[in-house]
Amino acid sequence: GARGMSAFTRDEMMTIAAARMLWDGCVCFVGIGLPSAACNLARLTHAPDLVLIYESGTIGTRPTVLPLSIGDGELAETAACVVPLPEIFSYYLQGGRVDVGFLSAAQIDRYGNLNSTVIGPYGKPSTRLPGSGGAPEIAAHAKQTFVVMKASPRAFVRALDFRTSAGYLTGHGERSCGSARGGGPKAVVTDFGILKPLPASDELALAGLFPETSIEQARAAVGWPLALFDSIETIAPPAAGELETLRALHARTGAAHRRTVALPGERTP
């Protein structure tokens, strides 16, 4: 049935909380999926001049619907410019011009390292994931990275099956000793709240909780003993405008993608 504007799902709260972390004029390198929804919501609400870059070479893209992939024509059609993929990495990302890399993954560990390669042993994996794409470079070179992932003990793990993208490595300042110029994962937005790295250890700890979630629920969703910040922020629920804009974006996206994929016996317009 129809939900009132006061009611919202955890997925909606997660996307809105992630969107709020972006600022107007921010240059953001976007992953497909949850990051894409959060970044486009930010652009449609409080950050109209957010500069979105996708790995396919689209800069300043302003899609009206969420892209199916980085190769979605919607991204190129609405971009300020499209440049060759090597230029995105060399001149923009490695050149230090990307403020935020927005990533997701299949697995994350307590130091913000990400796995998007395989589940199980590399030689005989139980699941082969989409692979690294540009994530290792984004994680290395963006001034800071934000991660948005639904939390479960299968996803938030004690040990990754494969380390695709570096967060804080083994913590305690190890990342800062290496050659990666970016600042690493400054926030992980889950469907219960927000994790941030503790200053001394770099370990991800609970920094903020969503409405109607508890520390117990947060701990149950994470596969390592979850540390807590001294004071845990209570994150404001979605505003009506945020929810309306997000739902309209998803509705437009669903309608557009239904049009482009014909079912058997159906003609596309």
Instruction: Write the DSSP string, the chain.
Output: -PPPTT---HHHHHHHHHHHT--TT-EEEE-SSHHHHHHHHHHHTT-TT-EEEETTSEES---SS--SSTT-HHHHHT-SEE--HHHIIIIIITTT--SEEEE--SEE-TT--EE-SEES-SSS-SEE-S--TTHHHHHHHSSEEEEE----TTTB-SS-SS--B-SSTTSTTHHHHSS--S--EEEEE-SSEEEEE-TTT--EEEEEE-TT--HHHHHHT-SS--EEEEEEEEPPPPPHHHHHHHHHHHHHHHHHHHHHSPPTT----
CB 39 within 8 A of CB 19: yes
Catalytic residue among 55, 74, 137, 203: 55
CB 170 within 8 A of CB 126: no
Active site residue 55: yes
Beta-sheet pairing, 185-189 with 144-148? parallel
Instruction: Supply the residues annotated as catalytic.
Output: 55
